[in-house]
Amino acid sequence: MSPERFARINALLDTRQPDLTLCLEGVHKNHNLSAVVRTADAVGVHEMHAVWFDRKGRVAGGTAMGSQNWVRVHHHQEPTSTNTLRDLQAQGMQVLVTHLSDTAIDFREVDYTRPTCIVMGQEKHGVSAESIAAADHQIVIPMVGMAQSLNVSVAAAVVLYEAQRQRELAGMYAAPRLSAAERHRVLFEGGHPIFAKLCRQKNIPYPELDEQGQIMADEAWWQQIRLAQK
């Protein structure tokens, strides 16, 4: 790993927001999912969730522009999203669903400096009734035109950048917030992808990195890697 790449990855990790996430319900068009991942990366979202009701989608690298390598997408195959949302709420997150209703509030009225999960559904059907019932708040993006909804990737960007604005003002991007273990995982996988792949395939622990991002490993580790390459 070059010093420049090591510095770039560290700068990215310094601004990651581990308590800001998205949950997409049945957003089955791969380019939409990928566009949301790209925006999530841009505002510092570290992990997000995709819930599939029928078939599983994938992140298209062309649309995501490499952001899929820096935002971990957890895929869930389940009949409803409530299990995923309950798990997030148990972690202390407020759950917001985008939904046009009489009780929905302007998305800008929410405090996004709190641990937050934003739930969005596909344009045709929106979020599920179960997710609406489980949510702490329903939010809406005000619209004065003929259209009643935005493309899901555009809506995600609008809400995420409001969250980014609030968090920036609160100083939440000023200090690293990821755990040391997670930071090390991303640094190793991003800086040494070939070795990281071998480690995952053969269940070999990631070694430590020095202050320049170079691998610090004993001969036993290197022997395991040589055997894994054969």
DSSP code at position 204: P
**Contact criterion met (CB below 8 Å) for 152 and 123:** yes
- 141 known ligand binder: yes
C-alpha distances (whole Å) from 201 to each of 127, 197, 205 are: 36, 6, 11
The DSSP code for 96 is E
Q: 3-class SS at 131?
A: helix
Q: At what angle do helices 180-191 and 193-202 cross, to 10 degrees?
A: 110
Check the annotation: does 150 bind a ligand.
yes
Annotated ligand binding at 118? The verdict is: no
Which residues make up each annotated binding site for S-adenosyl-L-methionine? 98, 141, 150
Which residues make up each annotated binding site? 98, 141, 150
